[in-house]
Amino acid sequence: MSNDTIFDPAELETVEPLPPEHTEESAFIPDTNGDPEGSDARAEKQAIALPDFFFKRYSLDDEGKPIFNPSVVNSIMAVFDMKADSQISFNGDKADDEEKYYDSQVNTIVDGLNQLLEVDPQSTGIQFLSLNTRTWAEFVSIAYEYNDSLTSISANDDLPEWLIQREEKMMQLGRKARMLRDAIAAIDDKFGLKSTSLDRDRVQNEVERRLQRLAEWNFRKHADQSGKVANTYNAQTVQHCETVFANA
């Protein structure tokens, strides 16, 4: 046998492998094969689209359902802490007359309650305290929304009509809340209850319920679920085709 047919590794010219001086562009492209499920999820169209304002006051849970935003609740309760013991301001030339009229309104409420408290005062007291709690929750929520919206209005622009209406509602609710609070304070010993004070935790519960209702209402009105519908339809179509193939 000829020596030409014998392979000698020493005859090969070897070159030390070194990294390239320039990185190829392909090296920066993500390897989708390394994470196929994550890649598919990122490429998938968002199932539910919502306007930006929704996430300013509300949120979505892990299942994509609308919920209230805890940070907004905390901001509203900060308004409650500031307003709970505040008094109505009477200004201008008719301040004295307005204060007398306010006092007369409170006295009218007290007179009406006294009639109801003659029979089953505990039930009457609980219902009236519940009304007081709900009114305060509504008042501080509207006050927060008014102030929050006001910060987004330019000083050079006129107030929009919707903000003027919210201002009027805020003032009316503030008056009503204080009337209820002051009426209860005037006859708190006639309810037959251990405490008639405005409970902060109960007010917060009502604030959360209100925000939850608004979150669900805004979700139904503004959520674009076309992506979710399309995904569900496509999945059902694929399942149907698989069934047809199996039965063919």
In which residue are the tokens 């392909």 written? 26
**Please, which residues have CB within 8 angstroms of residue 75's CB and are 6 or more apart in sequence?**
144, 148
| Per-residue pLDDT, 165 | 93
Structure token digits, residue 197: 């004070």
Residue 8: phi and psi, rounded to 5, are -115, 110
| Per-residue pLDDT, 56 | 86
Residues 136 and 188: beta-carbon distance below 8 Å: no
Residues 222 and 60: beta-carbon distance below 8 Å: no
Residues of the chain with pLDDT under 50: 41-46, 227-234
d(CA 136, CA 79): 11
| Per-residue pLDDT, 136 | 98
Strands 58-60 and 66-68 come out as antiparallel
DSSP state of 146: H
Strands (E) in the chain, as ranges, are 58-60, 66-68
Which amino acid is present at 207? V
**This prediction's pTM:** 0.69
